[in-house]
Amino acid sequence: MNNEKQEGQAEKLFQQFGKKVDKFLEELNEASGKLNKEFEGRFEELKQAADNLKKEASDKDKWKEVESSLKKAGQELENAFRAAFKSKPQDKQA
């Protein structure tokens, strides 16, 4: 009789464990669905941002102006470095 009681307790334990595993799997499926929706939303945002960037990049006149301004700024920076670091001529005394 004691053996039957232990078997009944083991069955209950496994049954409870099985229910907990089922609940865990349900929650996991729900979380997976939520993450999938969030991922899809983020992906759409990235696609939209990429499309916007393509549109902006296709405006060649704007980018030519940017390139020209950057070249001027680079030249000014080069001139500033040359002026700051050029060696001073030393007086030669003979």
pLDDT at 91: 55
Number of structural domains in the chain: 1
pLDDT at 94: 47
Note whether residue 67 is domain-resident: yes
pLDDT at 88: 65
Note whether residue 92 is domain-resident: no
Report the amino acid identity of residue 15: Q
User: Which pairs from 67-71 meet CB under 8 Å and 24+ separation?
Assistant: none
Structural domain of residue 73, as residue ranges?
2-84
pTM above 0.75, yes or no: no
* Nearest residue to 74 (alpha-carbon basis) of 85, 66, 62, 63: 66
Note whether residue 93 is domain-resident: no
Tens-place pLDDT, residues 10-46:
888 889 999 999 999 999 888 888 888 888 888 899 8
Note whether residue 24 is domain-resident: yes
How many whole angstroms separate alpha carbon 29 and alpha carbon 31?
A: 5
